Amino acid sequence: MEILITGGAGYIGSHVVKQLGENTEHNLTVLDSLVTGFRESVLYGDFIEADLSNFDEIEGIFKAKKFDAVIHFAASLIVPESVTNPLKYYLNNTANTANLIRLCVKYGVNNFVFSSTAAVYGEPDISKMPITEESPTAPINPYGMSKLMSETVLKDASKAHDDFNYIALRYFNVAGASLDGKIGQSTKDATHLIKVAAETALGKRDKMYIFGDDYPTPDGTCIRDYIHVEDLADAHLKALDYLVEKRESNIFNCGYGHGFSVKEVIDTMREVTGVDFKAEITERREGDPAVLIAGNEKIKRELGWSPKYDDLALICKTAYEWEKKI
């Protein structure tokens, strides 16, 4: 297949490009503006530096090559920024996605894999864990809403255009780096817990913060479902196969179905690195749900996805090894 991958120079996209390059015969075209991505993370395929907001340029790419599928990672994803600058999120995440879908419909590109997020669920009740795909969607910030709106555009477009199908993968907390150490998360000023802990273990930060220790969880800190980026990448390959074989749209949570607290993550990072770095308790952040855990029965059953790296120590170790290199 001829596949267009937007945002393929970013953290998750580059891991999917790597797996597609290593395990499939597909021809890959990676499109990225490099606003937060890195050219050197793209290990396979043709690379085009372009911004999705340049509609004419993007249409030119669709005219020049007949794609069979699009995997769409490109987005803005800093939750607090989405609150202060919502238009950036609605334009980059929703409007640019709607335009990309328009081009897919116009040029007969019928398979679309979309990077969605647990943020579409908002702040679910702790008694309602794990979250299933049927759980109510109720985003509490423009980032989550911009992604849910994109899912809505996909749903309506697929209803109106019989041949056009999509899979939305709702990622929970993505972490770790490729096991061979070739790529990892290079995001500048990242706020992701495991990356921040790796940076602190390496002395890139003097200390890190724990945002609240009075949540209704066993140790008082928030619990999240951390998924290794290689397992998440594999879900994309399976989503493509599903689209081609079944020609049906669907939505899947991506997570392991259990979680770890902030304190447990920090302790694990200390254990695997042997560094007793400083973590200071501070105020809660607004809009942090106490617990987010993915129900993953559906993706296991319908995509045949079977995680290989459900191991917090391995996730921390690969993140740390990558952090050492950059």
Ligand X SMILES: NC(=O)c1ccc[n+]([C@@H]2O[C@H](COP(=O)([O-])OP(=O)(O)OC[C@H]3O[C@@H](n4cnc5c(N)ncnc54)[C@H](O)[C@@H]3O)[C@@H](O)[C@H]2O)c1
Q: Which amino acids are annotated catalytic? A: 143
Which of 56/276 has CB closer to ligand X?
A: 56
For ligand X, what does the binding mask look like between residues 103 and 132, x meaning CB under 6 A? ------------x-x---------------
73 contributes a contact to ligand X by CB under 6 A: yes
The whole-angstrom separation of Cα 217 and Cα 233 is 30
Residue 75, class by beta-carbon neighbours within 10 Å (0-12 exposed, 13-18 middle, 19+ buried)?
buried
For ligand X, what does the binding mask look like between residues 153 and 182, x meaning CB under 6 A? ------------------x-xx--------
72 — phi, psi (to 5°)? Answer: -110, 100
Query: What tokens appear for 24 in the block?
Result: 């499939």
- Say which DSSP state 131 is in: B
Which of 9/312 has CB closer to ligand X?
A: 9
82 contributes a contact to ligand X by CB under 6 A: no
For ligand X, what does the binding mask look like between residues 2 and 41, x meaning CB under 6 A? ----xx-xxxxx------------------xxxxxx----
Which of 48/216 has CB closer to ligand X?
A: 48
Which of 184/215 has CB closer to ligand X?
A: 184
Count residues contacting ligand X (CB under 6 A)? 28
In the bound complex, what is the minimum distance in angstroms from residue 276's beta carbon to ligand X? 27
The beta-strand segments (E) located in the chain are 2-6, 27-32, 46-49, 69-72, 111-117, 165-171, 173-175, 207-211, 223-224, 226-228, 250-254, 260-261, 278-282, 291-292
Which of 81/281 has CB closer to ligand X?
A: 81
Nearest to 188 by CA among 8, 30, 34, 13: 34
**b/e burial code for range 120-136 (CB count within 10 A of at least 16 → b):** bbbebeeeebbbebebe
**Out of 3, 30, 52, 201, which residue is the one contacting ligand X (CB under 6 A)?**
52
Binding site for ligand X (CB under 6 A): 6-7, 9-13, 32-37, 51-53, 73-75, 77, 92, 96, 115, 117, 171, 173-174, 187
